[in-house]
């Protein structure tokens, strides 16, 4: 397909693209917040660390209402760069794709309707005890994922959880996957050493508290994961029984893949990852290098290019800031596929610029 790059497993990737072409998806944003996301230097998903509590609910509001209610304007990085939910919102609007929010566990509830799966916000993974109620959240998310997959041709499931690549590294490591230096970052200079330090502390604390994790996915999330993972894994497992599922995200999704692989591997037959070119081409991370260690799930990337944008705040995406989030890449792919390629990357950029100017009040 025009403007979609194939990043992993060409045969399965093409088959997946064929399967979703001209089909009607439902987009689900799975939101969560954690204390991990507030560790200084780890995430750019908020103007400052405490602000990360507001980013996921504000992203949810942007998707459903076209504007935020919990904050003024839209979530931004410390440098003032807008949330990737701007991309997602633009893609969903262009292709008239419906959207629902699943609350994996947030400290600040969004001021829009959301699906409750009984999740709580996450603690700092350095405690080794980061997520409550993992099995129950997975079970409930399975139930709702199956119902939602019945009403749509396929599901596109994204995430908004600040600090999510660190918890991804935690869970991947706990499950025996070598992800050191391979997870992505919202920051152009990926703070790999900081992440490894946090994860090592978390795994050590977890072993003291829970004993060896030994590949147990429930223990891995409970110890060093985040609440998005339990909800998203459940949604994918439930949804993939009924139809294809596009997991819309970057290297965070590889942690969810590893969890699904441990929980219910046959679910992976009906799954692809959809991300952005910025993740696919990122030299400071390696999404395929993670996936290939345990499965052959195809990876697609929306060939987004903000280089031609008239706005410096969007052009900066080309320097590696933000890269992905809130299903930006997957929703772009879904918008292109649903409209029979009428939505191109140029048309999408125009819509993103229009929304950017309006939401950032640029004249």
Question: Residue numbers of the site for a copy of itself (CB under 8 A)?
Answer: 24, 26, 64-65, 96, 98-100, 103, 109, 111-118, 140-141, 143-144, 147-148, 150-152
**Rounded to an integer, what distance in angstroms lies between the CA atom of residue 74 and that of residue 70?**
9
Nearest to a copy of itself of 47, 100 (CB atom) = 100
Nearest to a copy of itself of 43, 270 (CB atom) = 270
Do 18 and 6 touch, CB atoms closer than 8 A? no
Give least dist CB 354 to a copy of itself, A. Answer: 22
Tokens describing residue 74: 């839209």
Tokens describing residue 198: 């946090």
**Rounded to an integer, what distance in angstroms lies between the CA atom of residue 97 and that of residue 232?**
19
Give least dist CB 221 to a copy of itself, A. Answer: 18
Give least dist CB 114 to a copy of itself, A. Answer: 6
Give least dist CB 360 to a copy of itself, A. Answer: 23
**Rounded to an integer, what distance in angstroms lies between the CA atom of residue 295 and that of residue 168?**
16
Give least dist CB 113 to a copy of itself, A. Answer: 4
Nearest to a copy of itself of 31, 291 (CB atom) = 31
Do 157 and 236 touch, CB atoms closer than 8 A? yes
Name the CA radius of gyration of the chain, rounded: 18
Reference 162, options 47, 304, 280, 278; nearest CA is 47
The backbone torsions φ and ψ at residue 101, rounded to the nearest 5 degrees and listed phi first, read: -110, 135
**Rounded to an integer, what distance in angstroms lies between the CA atom of residue 182 and that of residue 60?**
28
Give least dist CB 143 to a copy of itself, A. Answer: 6
Beta-ladder partners of 26: 155
Give least dist CB 24 to a copy of itself, A. Answer: 7
Q: State the first-to-last Cα distance of the chain, in angstroms, to the nearest integer.
A: 35
Nearest to a copy of itself of 76, 102 (CB atom) = 102
Nearest to a copy of itself of 182, 338 (CB atom) = 338
Distance set, CA 284 to CA 66, 141, 183, 199 (Å): 32, 32, 8, 18
**Rounded to an integer, what distance in angstroms lies between the CA atom of residue 108 and that of residue 111?**
9
**Rounded to an integer, what distance in angstroms lies between the CA atom of residue 48 and that of residue 44?**
8
Place of tokens 């110890």: 223
Give least dist CB 88 to a copy of itself, A. Answer: 14
Nearest to a copy of itself of 19, 305 (CB atom) = 19
Nearest to a copy of itself of 141, 299 (CB atom) = 141
Nearest to a copy of itself of 113, 211 (CB atom) = 113
């Amino acid at each position: 397909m025009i403007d979609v790059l194939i990043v992993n497993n060409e045969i399965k990737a093409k088959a997946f693209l064929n399967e979703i072409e001209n089909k009607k998806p439902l987009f689900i944003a799975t939101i969560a917040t954690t204390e991990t996301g507030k560790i200084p230097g780890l995430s750019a998903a908020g103007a400052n660390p405490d602000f990360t509590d507001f980013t996921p609910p504000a992203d949810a509001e942007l998707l459903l209402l076209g504007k935020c209610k919990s904050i003024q304007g839209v979530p931004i990085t410390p440098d003032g760069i807008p949330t990737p939910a701007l991309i997602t919102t633009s893609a969903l609007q262009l292709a008239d794709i419906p959207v629902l929010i699943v609350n994996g566990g947030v400290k600040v509830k969004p001021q829009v309707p959301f699906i409750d799966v009984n999740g709580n916000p996450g603690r700092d993974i350095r405690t080794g005890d980061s997520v409550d109620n993992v099995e129950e959240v997975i079970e409930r998310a399975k139930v709702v994922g199956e119902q939602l997959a019945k009403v749509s041709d396929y599901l596109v499931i994204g995430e908004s959880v600040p600090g999510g690549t660190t918890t991804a590294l935690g869970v991947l490591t706990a499950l025996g996957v070598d992800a050191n230096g391979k997870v992505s970052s919202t920051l152009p200079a990926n703070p790999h050493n900081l992440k490894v330090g946090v994860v090592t502390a978390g795994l050590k604390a977890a072993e003291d508290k829970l004993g060896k994790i030994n590949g147990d996915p429930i223990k891995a999330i409970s110890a060093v994961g985040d609440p998005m993972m339990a909800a998203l894994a459940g949604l994918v497992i439930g949804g993939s029984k009924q139809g294809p599922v596009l997991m819309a995200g970057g290297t965070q999704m590889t942690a969810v893949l590893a969890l699904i692989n441990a929980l219910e591997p046959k679910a992976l037959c009906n799954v692809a990852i959809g991300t952005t070119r910025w993740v696919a081409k990122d030299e400071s991370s390696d999404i395929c290098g993670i996936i290939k260690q345990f499965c052959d799930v195809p990876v697609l990337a929306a060939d987004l290019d903000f280089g031609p944008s008239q706005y410096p705040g969007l052009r900066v995406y080309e320097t590696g800031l933000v890269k992905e989030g809130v299903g930006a890449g997957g929703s772009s792919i879904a918008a292109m596929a649903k409209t029979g390629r009428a939505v191109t990357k140029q048309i999408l950029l125009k819509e993103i610029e229009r929304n950017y100017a309006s939401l950032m009040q640029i004249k």
